[in-house]
């Protein structure tokens, strides 16, 4: 861990604000899940509420980047958090204790989804403005720790607060978390690097948006990143988010308690990967780290495929072996993600980083449901070990191809990376 990052007051205020708003968001998402299920008893309606948040994020993320590159990023961060907090508190005041209907829940989910479409690209552009290049890996690692802590603490608090006080108090808690985050962000000094005297207009917006796409398409490095993101997320997330839970429940017949270990295991893997990222990265170029981590990911999927094949008779032993390999996947994939974000922040001019990062993040989000659908079909069609073996083959081929490209000097200069395991 780079010590300068821990002494950087601007970064610490930023990360504390994101931790508070992240916990509040996960508290609300957990409570919404319980509330919708309690009120409707429908898994389809519950899933539709989740989609109501994700769809605006996926649709708006590519164009949000241009707005981020135009505006004062500190002001935008604070304004968005104030809007989010005001929406939630206003809903509670207007309802005055009345029931929250499903249409209102959809409205809240969509509005917060629109606001959240800006959030991650803004943070990604702000970090290189307030942290030196040597500290980017550490800063991105701490940012991911923040999200992981929110993911751990939020659901726990959500269950407790919803059970004790109900959905209205949950909305107030999340609204207050956004307002507190806005207050903390007011103490962050973010250099203004994206000012321009050029008039803002639809024509200018279209020009800047196309400029970002042309940059990605015209730069072989960025194009390779995009291709690898799509491939990686389809085969990685499909196998982990669909395959492992499906096999655990349907084939290995694990208990509810054991099934909960799947989610715990991946969170522990991410936390361990972040904690030891400095040791893992030590004395390695980013290319070397990328190739090694990707090779480990492919090998882990290969081992999972062999375990699922059934060479060991005990389903319990098989389940815990899968958890061990799942832990390895969490450790390795998060280190690829940390390095990728740092390299993107170093490589792209900060004046363009908003639109570039938003397009990349939109592609990451878009590739996830594609992988989920693909693996849902594969697990219905093929024996359970086959999809894992396909993931292993594809990812190992990517690693080998990358290694060949680096040696020939045709893919990218040393010290950069092409892919993320987000």
pLDDT, averaged across the chain: 80
Band the pLDDT of 205: cuts 50, 70, 90: low
Highest mean pLDDT pick, 19-23, 48-52, 270-274: 19-23
Cβ(259)–Cβ(248) under 8 Å? Answer: yes
Q: How far apart are the first and last CA of the chain?
A: 21
Question: With 50 as the cut, is the pLDDT of residue 45 above it?
Answer: yes
User: DSSP string spanning 143-197?
Assistant: HHHHHHHHHHHHHHHHHHHHHHH-HHHHHHHHHHHHHHHHHHHTT----------
Largest interatomic CA distance in the chain: 70
The model's pLDDT over 163-192, given as tens digits with 9 standing for 90+, comes to: 888 889 999 999 999 999 999 999 998 887
Neighbours of 203 (CB within 10 A): 9
Domain residue ranges in the chain: 3-186, 211-408
The model's pLDDT over 52-95, given as tens digits with 9 standing for 90+, comes to: 776 777 777 777 777 777 778 888 889 999 999 999 999 999 88
Question: With 50 as the cut, is the pLDDT of residue 420 above it?
Answer: no
Neighbours of 164 (CB within 10 A): 8
Report the top-level CATH class of 211-408: mainly alpha
The per-residue pLDDT for 199 is: 58
Task: Please name which of 273, 240, 232, 288 lies closest in space to residue 407, comparing C-alpha atoms.
Answer: 288
Task: Please name which of 339, 357, 416 lies closest in space to residue 144, comparing C-alpha atoms.
Answer: 339
Cβ(171)–Cβ(92) under 8 Å? Answer: yes
Q: Which CATH number fits domain 3-186: 1.10.3720.10, 3.20.20.110, 1.20.1250.20, 1.10.10.10?
A: 1.20.1250.20
d(CA 293, CA 301): 13
Angle at 87 between CA 127 and CA 187, to 5 degrees: 35
Neighbours of 103 (CB within 10 A): 8
Instruction: Please tell me which residue, 42 or 296, carries the higher pLDDT value.
Output: 296
Instruction: Please tell me which residue, 414 or 383, carries the higher pLDDT value.
Output: 383
Query: Identical fold at 3-186 and 211-408?
Result: yes
């Amino acid at each position: 861990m780079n010590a300068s990052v821990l002494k950087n007051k601007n970064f610490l205020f930023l990360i504390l604000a994101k931790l508070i708003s992240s916990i509040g968001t996960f508290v609300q998402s957990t409570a919404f899940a319980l509330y919708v299920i309690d009120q409707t008893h429908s898994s389809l309606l519950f899933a539709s509420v989740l989609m109501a948040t994700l769809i605006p994020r996926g649709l708006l993320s590519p164009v949000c980047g241009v707005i981020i590159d135009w505006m004062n990023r500190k002001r935008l961060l604070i304004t968005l958090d104030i809007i989010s907090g005001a929406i939630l508190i206003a809903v509670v005041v207007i309802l005055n204790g009345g029931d929250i209907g499903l249409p209102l829940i959809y409205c809240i989910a969509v509005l917060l989804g629109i606001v959240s479409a800006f959030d991650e690209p803004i943070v990604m552009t702000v970090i290189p403005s307030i942290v030196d290049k040597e500290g980017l890996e550490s800063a991105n690692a701490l940012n991911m720790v923040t999200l992981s802590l929110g993911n751990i603490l939020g659901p726990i608090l959500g269950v407790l607060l919803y059970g004790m006080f109900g959905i209205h108090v949950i909305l107030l808690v999340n609204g207050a978390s956004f307002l507190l985050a806005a207050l903390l962000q007011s103490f962050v000094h973010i250099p203004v690097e994206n000012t321009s005297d050029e008039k803002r207009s639809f024509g200018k917006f279209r020009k800047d948006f196309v400029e970002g796409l042309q940059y990605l398409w015209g730069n072989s490095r960025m194009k390779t990143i995009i291709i690898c993101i799509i491939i990686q997320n389809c085969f990685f997330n499909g196998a982990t988010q669909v395959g492992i839970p499906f096999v655990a429940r349907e084939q290995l017949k694990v208990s509810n308690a054991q099934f909960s270990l799947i989610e715990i295991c991946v969170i522990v893997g991410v936390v361990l990967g972040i904690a030891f990222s400095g040791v893992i990265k030590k004395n390695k170029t980013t290319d070397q780290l990328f190739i090694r981590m990707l090779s480990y990911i492919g090998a882990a999927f290969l081992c999972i495929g062999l375990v699922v094949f059934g060479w060991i008779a005990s389903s319990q032993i098989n389940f815990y072996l899968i958890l061990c390999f799942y832990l390895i996947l969490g450790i390795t994939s998060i280190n690829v993600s940390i390095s990728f974000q740092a390299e993107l922040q170093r490589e792209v001019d900060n004046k363009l980083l908003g639109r570039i990062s938003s397009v990349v993040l939109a592609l990451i989000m878009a590739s996830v449901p594609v992988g989920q659908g693909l693996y849902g079909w594969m697990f219905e069609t093929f024996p359970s070990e086959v999809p894992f073996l396909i993931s292993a083959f594809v990812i190992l081929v990517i690693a080998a191809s990358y290694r060949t490209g680096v040696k020939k000097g045709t893919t990218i200069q040393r010290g950069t990376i092409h892919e993320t395991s987000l």
